[in-house]
């Protein structure tokens, strides 16, 4: 089984998707499972993890409903208000669903770079292990040192770094991203998604080799046993078609041993997100 561990769905409206800024007009339309399914079939992807794109409880309900209706959705990373006094009520509302595998907050849009270290947010992270949920870290490179401080508090909590922390690929910049990434990766409860790279490159002029130095560092830093692959569809379509984006990672991973390939495509997603799979494919 090959799993795309990072993609989104939405029914577009201007109120909930204010993050779609200038140059993102192509995203401002409904993007639903019927749009993604043929792309999965074409690229031999058997399942996906769909990830929140709005910060509201309705988003989690929406994604879980889609997961009920579409067997290729193997897991959902939803949203709850980790700072709320009602957090456990929210978690109880959703935790019964077998496809809710994690939660996420859009950290990189918070004006305070220390947002993750707020007492209420830390208290919320502390609740997740009880419900066997991962926490996805959505960061810019400047947030990596803060993320390491957060992770240091929770040795038993599973964390997943999204989009390799969005390094400045367009500028070819490696440091301090590389050093800070290594610090975060020193905590063995953190895994990393090779995803979201094309939108950090030159949208119209990127080449496969632009990404190789960054993937090399991620592989060296996390090892094949803590890496997963994700498309970031449909956001990725700003810079490349689904097939192109999948090919970047697939071509790189193909150079690795069969065991490493199986780990990255299948074993790691199942273990990290505790995905319950069947033999059914798209």
Rounded CA separation 92/71 (Å): 24
Residue 89 has pLDDT above 50, yes or no: yes
Q: State both tokens at 228.
A: 């997963």
- Beta partners for residue 135, in sequence order: 103, 159
Residue 209 lies in a domain: yes
Helices (H), the chain: 33-42, 57-69, 87-94, 119-128, 144-152, 177-185, 212-222, 242-253, 258-262, 268-272
Q: pLDDT tens digits, residue range 259-278? A: 999 999 999 999 999 997 65
Residue 230 lies in a domain: yes
Q: pLDDT tens digits, residue range 117-131? A: 999 999 999 999 999
Number of domains in the chain: 1
Q: Whole domain around residue 27: which residue ranges?
A: 3-272
Residue 277 lies in a domain: no
Residue 281 lies in a domain: no
- Beta partners for residue 254, in sequence order: none
User: CATH number of the domain that 205 lies in?
Assistant: 3.20.20.140
Average pLDDT estimate for 73-96: 97
| Residue 36 CB-density burial (10 A; 0-12 exposed, 13-18 middle, 19+ buried) | buried
Residue 282 lies in a domain: no
Handedness of CA 218, 267, 184, 98 (dihedral sign): positive
Residue 73 lies in a domain: yes
Q: pLDDT tens digits, residue range 162-216? A: 999 999 999 999 999 999 999 999 999 999 999 999 999 999 999 999 999 999 9
In this prediction, residue 86 has a pLDDT band, given cuts at 50, 70 and 90, of: very high
pLDDT reported for residue 277: 61
Q: What is the pTM of this model?
A: 0.95
Residue 257 lies in a domain: yes
Residue 190 lies in a domain: yes
């Amino acid at each position: 089984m090959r799993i795309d561990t990072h993609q989104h769905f939405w029914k577009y409206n201007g109120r909930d998707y204010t993050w779609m800024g200038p140059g993102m007009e192509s995203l401002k339309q409904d993007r639903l499972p019927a749009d993604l399914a043929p792309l999965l079939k074409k690229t031999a992807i058997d399942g996906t993890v769909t990830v929140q794109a709005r910060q509201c409880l309705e988003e989690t309900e929406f994604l879980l409903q889609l997961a009920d209706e579409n067997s290729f959705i193997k897991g959902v990373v939803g949203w709850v208000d980790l700072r709320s006094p009602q957090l456990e009520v929210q978690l109880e509302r959703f935790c019964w669903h077998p496809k809710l595998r994690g939660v996420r907050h859009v950290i990189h849009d918070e004006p305070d770079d220390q947002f993750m270290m707020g007492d209420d947010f830390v208290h919320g992270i502390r609740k997740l292990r009880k419900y066997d949920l991962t926490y996805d870290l959505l960061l810019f490179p400047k947030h990596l040192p803060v993320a390491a401080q957060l992770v240091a508090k929770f040795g038993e909590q599973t964390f997943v770094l999204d989009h390799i922390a969005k390094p400045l690929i367009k500028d070819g910049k490696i440091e301090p991203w590389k050093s800070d990434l290594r610090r975060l990766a020193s905590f063995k409860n953190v895994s990393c998604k090779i995803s979201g790279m094309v939108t950090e490159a030159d949208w119209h002029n990127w080449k496969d080799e632009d990404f190789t130095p960054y993937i090399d560092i991620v592989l060296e830093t996390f090892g094949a046993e803590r890496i997963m692959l994700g498309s970031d569809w449909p956001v990725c379509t700003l810079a490349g078609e689904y097939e192109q984006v999948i090919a970047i990672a697939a071509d790189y991973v193909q150079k690795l041993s069969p065991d490493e390939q199986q780990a990255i495509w299948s074993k790691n997603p199942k273990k990290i997100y505790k995905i319950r799979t069947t033999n059914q494919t798209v």
